[in-house]
Structure 1
Amino acid sequence: MALETRKSPLLVAIVGPTATGKSHLAIEVAKRFNGEVVSCDSTAVYKGFDIGTDKLSISERQGVPHHLIDVVDGSCNYSAAQYAQDATAAINNITERGRLPIVAGGSGLYYRALTRGLFDGPGRDGQIRTRLIRIATKRGVEYLHRLVERVDPVSARRIQQRDEQRLIRALEVYYLTGRTLTEHFDSTQSPIESYDVITLGLHLSLEEIFRRVRERVNEQFRRGIIDEIKSLLDGGLSRDSHPFGGLVYRQVLEHLDGARDESATRELIARENRRYARRQLIWFRKEPNLHWISVAGEHPDAFQQAVTVLQARLC
């Protein structure tokens, strides 16, 4: 593949719901087309958050360089805007070295920030935030999610029900500007607009995704997710740190606090992951020009379908 002779630089993205094999397919595509992987995962950027994010080990990466994994400490609050900036820099660097950048992951917000851009939102409003925090304390974070759902159902589908920070921001922007986050996003410009983006989406049946989710949750506990979280806390990381609000980590923290036993915690994590997978499917189905692959990323057919799509676009 003569990347250097193209009028527009090429970028491949591999997206889709959780537990569909995106990382595996990205590695196979990278090996075939001289590529490097740019992670698109909102929690994998944090150091030490390994098991709950299913980070691939160095050996599992099979010599393929990976970017935007383990780049910030857990005490930081890494944003979609920062991701778009860092991912753009990584993509440009990979391209300048004559290699193929491959963005892979399931964070719809991060993917959209990269491919469509983010708006320069209003500054924080202390009064609004104080009022929303009081509402969350009194009525629960889920109530904030219902408020977002009323005014901005698209954002409500991509923001987890207990992600208090992002829910507050969505409502804050709406109250300050009179426009939803979705409306603002629709009028933005991508930082990689000069690239020819080919997006592949992994799409399995919900039954298959649910089966894979349950297997992965059991594997995470077998690998020691509880000990990983205890180690992070023992190292001085606050339980209020942003990555602890993500799937798996939040539920295990609640288990450590005595909210439920391990069996119930496993079931809750699987259930929340199933809901998340549904939201991801809804999100990515709205993406234009996405090429769906209806087998898991580990399946040989997934690689063959990916190669067919890429070669057709390169002719």
Structure 2
Amino acid sequence: MYIIITGATCTGKSETAVKTAEIMRGEIISADSMQVYRGMDIGTGKITPAAARGIPHHLIDILDAPEEFSAAKFKTLCERLIMDITARGKIPIVTGGTGLYIDVLIKGLADIKEADENKKKELRLVLEKKGIEYLADTLREKDPEEAAAIDTKNPRRVLRSLEIIAANNARASEIKKRASENAFKEERKMFVLEMDRQALYARIEARVDEMFKKGLIKEVESLITGGAGDDTPAMQAIGYKEIAAYMREEKNPAGAAEKVKKATKNYAKRQITWMRRYEEAYRINIDKTGTKAAAEKIASLSGK
């Protein structure tokens, strides 16, 4: 058996997971698409060694920022880790807010043909010339269900869906429905951490302010110097994208911080909507319980 702890950004997932692991002799597998990258510590809220309290964490700091990582790679590595941790007599705890990663683990991933490089270049050229809204409208025409399911403001997601449609001559949404055949079949318990919306927004604002104090701008500068361009997945992350734009154009740190806050709140809203679909999940109001009581409840409901 393995455990999933998910929820919107700033709901205390990492701290709750560590406390759960302490109770249950667990190890944590990160389900965060940006924490895989080295050098992205401040902006992703990556757990510190002190906060990890000796609990092993996996799928953190495994790539350099210019490299690509996908949901398919996550699925393969995560399943391998779950089996390995279980074989060592410990409890795997998958923790993070990247809903797509949670989905490919519990719902499966379709066998998808990849678009050739010429098609990928063609779509990226359309993005450069006509913008993300044009591509999003194209996706809505070709596959309305897919367009409703993904973040159409994220160029990488929209491009990926259009590439799938072009390479497979079928709707991406239909292909994904066939994914259940390779869903991970191990027994699991899923928990979604929730909190009052205004309290969540207050946490987001405080966290962003703290990130800027800790040196988020310098962190982004280091990534760019290290070869992470605007088109790399890492630089599409919230916080990094806005600061890269600030460095190119505005030179206004206060304005950049406000944009990061707004983008993070919008992301949290999308996460909340996404996670409503998890009907199997136990829902814990972290406002009322706190992380210690939440961890105790997770352990109790998981049979510990």
> Is the pair's TM-score, using the shorter chain for normalization, greater than 0.5?
yes
Name the structure 2 match of 1:283. Answer: 274
Matched AA of 1:129: K
Task: Give the direction of change, closer, same or farther, for the CA distance of 1:98–1:159 in structure 2 (3 Å limit).
Answer: same
Task: Report the 3-state secondary structure (helix = DSSP H, G, I; strand = E; otherwise coil) of the residue aligned with 1:120.
Answer: coil
Name the structure 1 match of 2:20. Answer: 29
Name the structure 2 match of 1:145. Answer: 136
Match of residue 295, structure 1, among 282, 286, 297: 286
Q: Please say if residues 200 and 306 of structure 1, whose CA atoms lie closer than 8 Å, have aligned partners that are also in contact.
A: no
Q: Does 1:311 align with 2:300?
A: yes
Q: Does 1:15 align with 2:2?
A: no
Matched AA of 2:71: A
Name the structure 1 match of 2:175. Answer: 184
User: Which stretches in structure 1 are left out of the alignment for 5+ residues?
Assistant: 1-9
Task: Report the 3-state secondary structure (helix = DSSP H, G, I; strand = E; otherwise coil) of the residue aligned with 1:13.
Answer: strand
Q: Using structure 1 for the length normalisation, give the TM-score.
A: 0.88
CA distance in 1, matches of 2:147, 2:4: 22
Shift of 1:146: 3.9
Task: Give the direction of change, closer, same or farther, for the CA distance of 1:285–1:218 in structure 2 (3 Å limit).
Answer: same
Match of residue 168, structure 1, among 142, 159, 165: 159
Shift of 1:106: 0.3
Task: Give the direction of change, closer, same or farther, for the CA distance of 1:39–1:186 in structure 2 (3 Å limit).
Answer: same
Name the structure 1 match of 2:76. Answer: 85
CA distance in 2, matches of 1:302, 1:154: 35
Deviates more, 1:171-180 or 1:15-24: 171-180
Match of residue 76, structure 1, among 60, 67, 88: 67
> Structure 1, residues 203-261: CA drift from partner, whole Å, max 9, x if none?
11221221111111111100001111112223344443220111111110001112462
CA distance in 1, matches of 2:303, 2:115: 45
CA distance in 2, matches of 1:148, 1:95: 41
Task: Report the 3-state secondary structure (helix = DSSP H, G, I; strand = E; otherwise coil) of the residue aligned with 1:159.
Answer: coil
Shift of 1:58: 0.8
The aligned runs of 1:12-161 (5 Å cut-off) are 12-126=3-117, 128-149=119-140, 151-153=143-145, 156-159=148-151, 161=153
CA distance in 1, matches of 2:39, 2:20: 27
CA distance in 1, matches of 2:44, 2:205: 15
CA distance in 1, matches of 2:101, 2:247: 30
Matched AA of 1:314: G
Q: How much identity, in percent, do the aligned residues show?
A: 29
Task: Give the direction of change, closer, same or farther, for the CA distance of 1:214–1:158 in structure 2 (3 Å limit).
Answer: farther
Task: Give the direction of change, closer, same or farther, for the CA distance of 1:17–1:181 in structure 2 (3 Å limit).
Answer: farther
Shift of 1:87: 0.9
Task: Give the direction of change, closer, same or farther, for the CA distance of 1:146–1:215 in structure 2 (3 Å limit).
Answer: farther
> Structure 1, residues 264-309: CA drift from partner, whole Å, max 9, x if none?
111111111111111111111112301111125xx75444345335
Task: Give the direction of change, closer, same or farther, for the CA distance of 1:124–1:282 in structure 2 (3 Å limit).
Answer: same
Count of matched residue positions in the alignment of Structure 1 and Structure 2: 303
